Amino acid sequence: MTTHAHHGLGRVGIWTFALDLQPMRKAQEAAAELESLGYGCIWVPEAVGREPFASCAMLLSGTKRIGVATGIASMYARSAITMQAGWRTLTEAFGERFTLGIGASHEHMATKLHKSAYDKPYSSMVTYLDQMDKGLYAAAAPTTTPRRVLAALGPKMLALSAQRGLGAHPYFVPPEHTQFARGVLGDGPLLAPEQAVLFETDPIKAREVARKFMATYIRLPNYANNLRRLGYTDDDLGDATRPPSDRMVDAIVAWGTIDDAVARVKAHFDAGASHVSIQVIDADPMALPMRQWRELAEATKQL
């Protein structure tokens, strides 16, 4: 299997909203420890937390080597010219340590949060990327090529991610999606899936926590349709009255021991991932999972 080391994210990263919940100074200290532990990249989301370009700038300022990426910045949260200005600003300041992950987000986020129309995400993304790449930028220019990945699940967006960036950052996906995505992308492009893990060995407790984590995502059409494409049924997905099946929960969240978590990350690599961003979930959603991050750093060094 090709290691895709030239994509510069390292093999294993951390995907987390937990840093948004800490005062910035504490978030910077945690980022510095993640760097010292050997992680290649920290992925931060955009929804209703910190503004991601500002957050990335602060995390990059508080560290020396680790990469920081948006996972993902929404095209509906800012105009294309503003997106490219933020992208070039951080690239000029931090070079290849910054990676812009950009995505079409979800209909309710576009329409309710950003008061935008949500129509034809693929075509809208193509137009948006064209506007980004033609956008005026009169400030000091980056000396390295700005790095961009797309949030991509289906075949068209996956193909676009390779054509218009380094590759893809799929979220809320099992290893079988990684295998599918690598088949679409071919060998060269970056494929950097996110994987949720939970350190809980009791099946009832683990699946209860996992279902709470999954509740928002599994109702979103983009994720639900992607899982259906992989062969999961409506019974697996559940609905407003029925939770997702054990099979579905176990596919999305790698719960159990640290060995179980590492085995799932390895499954993504075996399926063709270039980089895996691990999201530690916890019974306390406000917790900063430093202990789990330390244990995972040691356990994933050989991957």
Q: Which of 196, 199, 208 is nearest to 251 (CA)?
A: 196
Assess if residue 285 is contained within a domain: yes
CA–CA distance, 17 with 288 (Å, rounded to integer): 9
- Per-residue pLDDT, 1: 29
pLDDT at 276: 98
- Per-residue pLDDT reduced to its tens digit, 139-166: 999 999 999 999 999 999 999 999 999 9
Inside any domain, residue 75:
yes
**Residue 121 lies in domain:** 7-194+258-299
Residue 110 has pLDDT above 80, yes or no: no
107 band by pLDDT with thresholds 50, 70 and 90: low
Question: In this structure, is residue 235 part of a structural domain?
Answer: no
Angle of the 24-36 helix axis to the 290-299 helix axis, nearest 10: 20
Asked whether residue 207 is assigned to any structural domain, the reply reads no
Q: What does the alpha-carbon distance between residue 300 and residue 112 come to, in Å, rounded to a whole number? A: 40
Q: Tokens 């560290």 correspond to what residue?
A: 63
How many domains does one find in the chain? Answer: 1
Task: Establish if 190 belongs to a structural domain.
Answer: yes
C-alpha–C-alpha distance, residues 187 and 104, integer Å: 25
pLDDT tens profile 257-295: 999 999 999 999 999 999 999 999 999 989 999 999 999
Is 36 within the bounds of a domain?
yes
279: phi > 0 → left, psi -120 to 50 → alpha, else beta; which? beta
CATH number of the domain that 165 lies in? 3.20.20.30
**DSSP H helices in the chain:** 24-36, 52-61, 80-94, 107-108, 121-134, 155-163, 175-185, 203-218, 221-229, 234-237, 246-252, 258-271, 290-299
Percentage above 90 pLDDT, the chain: 89
Distance CA 37, CA 65 (A): 12
